[in-house]
Amino acid sequence: MEKVNKFILGIGGLTVTALGIYAGLSNKEPAKYSLEWIKKLTDKNWEIEREIVRQKFCNPKYDDVTRIRFQNLLRLFDKVKSDRDWAGLKPQGPAYHREHGFNLYKP
């Protein structure tokens, strides 16, 4: 009888564990400040969250390693915004006359 109880409890434990893993993996929101999370932000929320990260980056109370992480997050925010603004088009430089002439050094 004791073996049967252990078997039933073992199967029940495995079932609960499997359901917990399934629930944890499905319908999971992306981690905050991940690329997927930043892509889902609206423009207004993007500005708010980027400003929070920028203020943390400028704050001298954080050590250099943490501030470099904030700087990398700022670059990620800017990359997402740039991709949204260009919407698949190739970015082009300014079309004004440069210092030494327009198209002077192209081969």
For 6-30, the pLDDT digits (tens) are 778 788 777 877 766 766 666 677 7
Is residue 57 within 8 A of residue 71, CB to CB? The reply is yes
Q: Cα 31 to chain center, whole Å? A: 7
Total Cβ atoms within 10 A of residue 70: 19
Task: Note the pTM of the prediction, 2 decimals.
Answer: 0.62
pLDDT band at 86 (very low <50, low <70, confident <90, very high): confident
Structure-block tokens of residue 6:
């252990």
Average pLDDT of every residue of the chain: 83
C-alpha to C-alpha distance for 52 and 77, rounded to whole angstroms: 12
33-77, pLDDT tens digit by residue?
A: 999 999 999 999 999 999 999 999 999 999 999 999 999 999 999
The dihedrals phi and psi of 103, each to the nearest 5 degrees, come to 55, 35
Q: What is the pLDDT of residue 91?
A: 75
